Amino acid sequence: MTASPDAATSGRADGRIVVVTGGARGIGRAIVDRFAAEGATVVIGDLTDPGNVGAGLDVAGHREWVPLDVTDEASVLEFAETVQAGHGGVDVLVNNAGIMDTRSIRDETVADWDLAMAVNLRGPFLMAKHLLPLMEGRDDPAIVNIGSIEGLGANALHASYAASKAGVHGLTRALAVDLGPMGVRCNAVAPGWIDTDLNRGYVDKHPNRDQAVAELASLHPVGRIGDPADVAGTVLWLATPDAGFVTGQVVTVDGGRMTRLSLPASLADD
């Protein structure tokens, strides 16, 4: 079982200004909630209104929404100006916004490809570029990019997604090298199969949902699929002084799935 993030909160982000792109739902929302529970002021950058962002928040943190299109440089600049006017700076940038489609390379259009690259790769580049002036001089500023195990391997029919996430991992290493002398750390988290609304909808289409869930769980040495809180906890750690000597890393959060070597069913030990 995954522990509730509220069970282990200790004010590890008190007073921090945290930006999370794509924070309206899924993994992004879990990251927002965890930082807020730890005392941060969290600015959600998203095209989608996350609704009552303060609902259920009974700790010192604060959440707010500023509309943002990470693919549009003008939108990113306007977002940066709004955050600077409201908060004076940024301590943590979490580049979470992303999209994924499933299609054959034969069916993938140039527009499809360009959109995946714009959201998944251009977005983190633009956010880092234009929020960097707000991060310089802060106490242990950090960038955390959300990559994927598909930046390390690939599922079928995911060419643009896998390529874009591999790019995120490369961008992470490059930013760590270039921004380190400015005091800015940059790392990435590569989630595996996480129980988000998107993935749940995919599983729900299976004719035998329970079998699909059990088979997914069996791929992981820990015996379960991931929870958004698993990713959020890792992102939080990477953004704290506890990870102060960690930069340029891609931290895989996949329950051991990528570590286990596959065997044919006839040779696999139960």
- Segments in the chain forming alpha helices (H): 26-37, 73-87, 110-117, 123-135, 159-179, 197-204, 209-218, 228-238
Nearest Cα to 100, choosing from 50, 49, 146, 46? 146
R_g (Cα) of the chain, nearest Å: 18
Q: How far apart are CA 118 and CA 264, in angstroms?
A: 38
Q: How far apart are CA 32 and CA 63, in angstroms?
A: 8
Q: Is 202 a catalytic residue?
A: no
Query: Of the residues 35, 65, 125, 161, which is catalytic?
Result: 161
Strand partners, 195: none
Q: How far apart are CA 58 and CA 174, in angstroms?
A: 39
DSSP assigned state of 172: H
Cβ proximity of 14 and 60 under 8 Å: yes
Give catalytic residues, as residue numbers. Answer: 161
